[in-house]
């Protein structure tokens, strides 16, 4: 029997495994919180409410990580500002790194990482050139 405590991170990861993008919401501000934690970064109150995220967001910042082609080639790392207010580090897929722009509208997608864990990445909204 597993007696590990149910931490906010475990709750977040379990939701991803079920195909749901859930984040905590601060009861004092109504803002979504990322990375999962025990208390609100704004009020210090316990974070007990989880909410389904829309997955809608915009690129807040982006950079290109350069790699040799034999190591997988270049990729982007981006900070995404979600419609619900949280910002999270991820990447934008289905577009070359040099085409990812600040302000680009993106949508969350749950994929499986190389180590078998579900993670959130983003793809450009329909109609964006890839």
pLDDT tens for residues 88-108? 999 999 999 999 999 999 999
This prediction has a pTM of: 0.87
In 1-130, DSSP assigns E strands to 22-25, 32-33, 49-52, 56-65, 75-82, 87-90, 105-112, 118-124
DSSP letter for 93, please: -
Does 2 have pLDDT greater than 60? Answer: no
Quote the pLDDT of residue 129.
47
* Cα–Cα distance, 77 to 74 (Å, whole number): 10
CB neighbourhood size of 116 (10 A): 6
């Amino acid at each position: 029997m597993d007696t590990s405590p149910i931490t906010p991170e475990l709750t977040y990861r379990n939701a991803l495994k079920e195909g749901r993008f859930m984040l905590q919401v601060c009861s004092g501000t109504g803002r979504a919180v990322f990375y999962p934690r025990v208390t609100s970064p704004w009020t210090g109150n316990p974070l007990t409410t989880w909410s389904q995220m829309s997955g809608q967001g915009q690129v807040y910042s982006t950079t290109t990580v350069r790699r040799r082609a034999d190591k997988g080639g270049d990729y982007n790392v981006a900070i995404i500002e979600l419609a619900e207010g949280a910002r999270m580090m991820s990447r934008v897929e289905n577009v070359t790194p040099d085409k990812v722009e600040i302000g680009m509208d993106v949508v969350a997608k749950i994929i499986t990482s190389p180590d078998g864990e579900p993670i959130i990445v983003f793809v450009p909204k329909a109609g964006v050139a890839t």
